[in-house]
Amino acid sequence: MGSVFDIAVSGLKAQSRRLAVSADNVANLSSLGVHPDPQLAKPEGFAPQRTVFNSQFLAQAQAQAQGGGGGGVTASTAPISPASFLSYQPDHPDADPDGMVPLPNVSLEQEVVEQIQALRLFQANVKTIQVQDRMLGALLDIVS
């Protein structure tokens, strides 16, 4: 089994990435999105992402078989689908011939919830590391 420390650190890294991805989505809330029509799409269009978590349970079992540690979680990103929606803004300088402007498919409310969840889960992983540290300290006191 992976050590508590390794598993908690993997959780810290995953939540840190989740927060970074969400912050990137919020920072680009007013940017142009990717136009659904490839002929009208501009290369600088922003495509929002979502964090995807993968359990390392199977990797843990393989690592145990080889005598190592394992476990925890990894984080990767995946594009939000659809990446953008069209908004009617005929006076916008980047409007297409029909007056439509692609905006990123990002909900500020959902991103705030993502960030709060990432913060709370980060704090829980920090607390796990602190408890493990206290337990190891108590064990050393008992042994000595």
Question: At 79, which helix (H) or strand (E)?
Answer: strand 73-79
Please report which confidence band the pLDDT of residue 114 belongs to, taking 50, 70 and 90 as the band edges: very high
Please report which confidence band the pLDDT of residue 106 belongs to, taking 50, 70 and 90 as the band edges: very high
The pLDDT, as a whole number, for residue 59 is: 60
- Residue 78 token pair: 């995946």
Q: Judge whether residue 116 has pLDDT over 90.
A: yes
Whole-number Å distance between alpha carbons of 33 and 28: 9
Q: Which contacts (CB < 8 Å, 24+ apart) does range 88-97 have?
A: 94/32, 94/42, 96/35, 96/37, 96/40
Strand partners, 103: 85
| pTM score, whole prediction | 0.82
Question: At 86, which helix (H) or strand (E)?
Answer: strand 84-88
In the chain, % of residues over pLDDT 90: 63
